[in-house]
Structure 1
Amino acid sequence: MAPRVASRPVPDGDAWARSALAQLGRVRGVHRAGLALTEGGGRRLLFAASDRDNEPSVDWCEVDVYEEVPLNHSVRTGEAVLGSLEGLAGRYRAFTERQSPKTSALACLPIVAGGHVHGGYALFYDQPQSFERPQVRELEELGSRLGAGLRRVQRGAPPCSRSLQDQPVPRGAEVATHSVAADPRAVATARHFVLNTLAAWGVDQRSVDIATLCLSELVTNAIMHTDTGCDLRLVLDRGVLTTTVRDGGSTVLVDPSSVPADPLAVHGRGLQIVDALATRWGSELDAVGMSVWFVLEPG
Structure 2
Amino acid sequence: MPVMTGAGVVRKQEAQDDERFGSSSHGPLRPYPDEMAHTVASRPVPDVETWARSALAQLGHVPGVHRAGLALAEGGGRRLLFTASDRSNEHSVEWCEVDAYEDVPLNHAVRTGEAVVGSLDDLAYLYRAFADRQTLKTHALASFPIVAAGHVQGGYVLFFDTPQRFDQPQLTELEDLGARLGVDLRRVQRATTHASRSLQAEPMPDGAHAVSYSVAADLRAVAQARHFVLRTLAAWGIEEDTADNAILCLSELVTNAIIHTDAGCEIRVVLDRDVLTTTVRDGGSTVVVDPRNVTVDPLAEHGRGLQLVDAVSTRWGSELDAVGMTVWFVLEPASTPVGRSIPQLPSM
Give 1:258 deviation, angstroms: 4.5
- CA 20–269 in structure 1, closer or farther in 2 if over 3 Å, else same: closer
Tell me the residue number matched to 2:280. Answer: 245
Which of 63, 67, 89 is the matching residue for 2:124? 89
Taking only aligned residues, the RMSD between alpha carbons, in angstroms, comes to: 2.1
Which of 222, 226, 237 is the matching residue for 1:191? 226
**1:137-286 residue pairs with structure 2 within 5 A?**
137-262=172-297, 265=300, 268-286=303-321
Which of 131, 134, 140 is the matching residue for 2:166? 131
Give 1:85 deviation, angstroms: 0.8
Matched to 1:91, the amino acid is L
Equivalents in 2 of 1:113, 1:267: separation in Å? 18
Q: Deviation digits for residues 221-274 of structure 1, max 9, x if unmatched?
A: 222333312211111122211111122232223333444424575654332321
Equivalents in 2 of 1:183, 1:153: separation in Å? 31
Q: Does 1:36 align with 2:60?
A: no
SS in 1 for 2:93: coil
TM-score (norm: length of structure 2): 0.77
TM-score (norm: length of structure 1): 0.89
Q: Does 1:51 align with 2:81?
A: no
Of residues 255-264 and 91-100 in structure 1, the stretch that sits farther from structure 2 once superposed is 255-264
Highest relative contact order (Cα 8 Å, sep 6+), 1 or 2? 2
SS in 2 for 1:143: helix
Of residues 264-273 and 56-65 in structure 1, the stretch that sits farther from structure 2 once superposed is 264-273
Quick one: percent identity of the two aligned structures? Answer: 71
Q: Deviation digits for residues 45-95 of structure 1, max 9, x if unmatched?
A: 111112222243222111222221111111122222111111112112221
> Which ranges of structure 2 fall in alignment gaps of 5 or more residues?
1-42, 335-348
Matched to 2:311, the amino acid is A
Tell me the residue number matched to 1:11. Answer: 45
Tell me the residue number matched to 1:5. Answer: none
Give 1:126 deviation, angstroms: 1.2
SS in 1 for 2:243: helix
Equivalents in 2 of 1:117, 1:28: separation in Å? 25
Matched to 1:186, the amino acid is A
Equivalents in 1 of 2:237, 2:316: separation in Å? 23
Of residues 159-168 and 130-139 in structure 1, the stretch that sits farther from structure 2 once superposed is 159-168
Tell me the residue number matched to 1:6. Answer: none
Matched to 1:293, the amino acid is W
Equivalents in 2 of 1:114, 1:127: separation in Å? 33
SS in 1 for 2:328: strand
Equivalents in 1 of 2:103, 2:84: separation in Å? 18
Equivalents in 2 of 1:15, 1:290: separation in Å? 22
Of residues 211-220 and 14-23 in structure 1, the stretch that sits farther from structure 2 once superposed is 14-23
Q: Moved runs in structure 1, 4+ residues, more than 6 A?
A: none
- Contact 1:42–1:240 (CA under 8 A) maintained in structure 2: no
- CA 122–142 in structure 1, closer or farther in 2 if over 3 Å, else same: same
- Contact 2:291–2:304 (CA under 8 A) maintained in structure 1: no
Equivalents in 1 of 2:332, 2:195: separation in Å? 27
- Contact 1:42–1:241 (CA under 8 A) maintained in structure 2: no
Give 1:16 deviation, angstroms: 2.0
**1:57-76 residue pairs with structure 2 within 5 A?**
57-76=92-111
- Contact 2:189–2:320 (CA under 8 A) maintained in structure 1: no
Equivalents in 1 of 2:94, 2:197: separation in Å? 28
- CA 19–223 in structure 1, closer or farther in 2 if over 3 Å, else same: closer
- Contact 2:291–2:303 (CA under 8 A) maintained in structure 1: no
> Which ranges of structure 1 fall in alignment gaps of 5 or more residues?
1-8
Equivalents in 2 of 1:229, 1:63: separation in Å? 32
Equivalents in 2 of 1:126, 1:62: separation in Å? 27
SS in 2 for 1:83: strand
Equivalents in 2 of 1:289, 1:40: separation in Å? 17
- Contact 1:160–1:288 (CA under 8 A) maintained in structure 2: no
Q: Deviation digits for residues 200-234 of structure 1, max 9, x if unmatched?
A: 22322222121112112222222233331221111
